[in-house]
Amino acid sequence: MKLSKAWIIGIVVIGIILISIGSAIRMYNKMPTLEEGVSSQWAKVESAYQRRSDLIPNLVNTVKGVANFEQQTLTGVVEARAKATSVNIDPTKLNAESIKQFQQAQSGLSSALSKLMVVVEKYPELKATQNFLELQSQLEGTENRINVERNKFNETAQSYNSYIRRFPNNLFAGMFGFEKKAYFEAEAGAEKAPEVKF
């Protein structure tokens, strides 16, 4: 009888150890999968921004065709595009500082495009061209895609961050170097509605 109890206890202990090891392996394996999801979603964010950047040369060339168009505005758009495309972020190092740097460069381009669209209002012959209207429509659609991809990125990062911060996952995350990913955040002052005066 004592021998059979010892066997039963041994089998239970071995079973508990095997279940624990299996759980630890599953837990660890899910971390890189979630991290790859964050990297993949970051690539989609960059792709959406790249699409916007790719549309800008066509927009600038279309606007250049109008006589007496403000050259300073066009130069500002071209320079902002160059700055925005020069900022590249390694998806494995998505921290608050790198995302802020990326966001600042993209905000500069958004601002330059906004100024361009305001100046375009003075040129009804430009606003009436089919090419300009198509480019403007594509830019609006791209801005919507950027917003969608940024939101998806934040959701993916949130899932990853939640997973690596839960106990006992946080122990493995710390041991194997899985770090929290940063989010896109609204720019300072974005919560205030712009004042419109007529």
Domain boundaries, the chain: 2-176
pTM of the model: 0.76
Question: Which pLDDT score, from 0 to 100, does residue 196 have?
Answer: 36
Question: Which pLDDT score, from 0 to 100, does residue 194 have?
Answer: 44
Average of per-residue pLDDT values in the chain: 83
Q: Residue range 39-61: average pLDDT?
A: 88
Measured CA to CA, the distance from residue 174 to residue 165 in angstroms comes to 9
Give the sign of the dihedral formed by CA 64, CA 88, CA 32, CA 170. negative
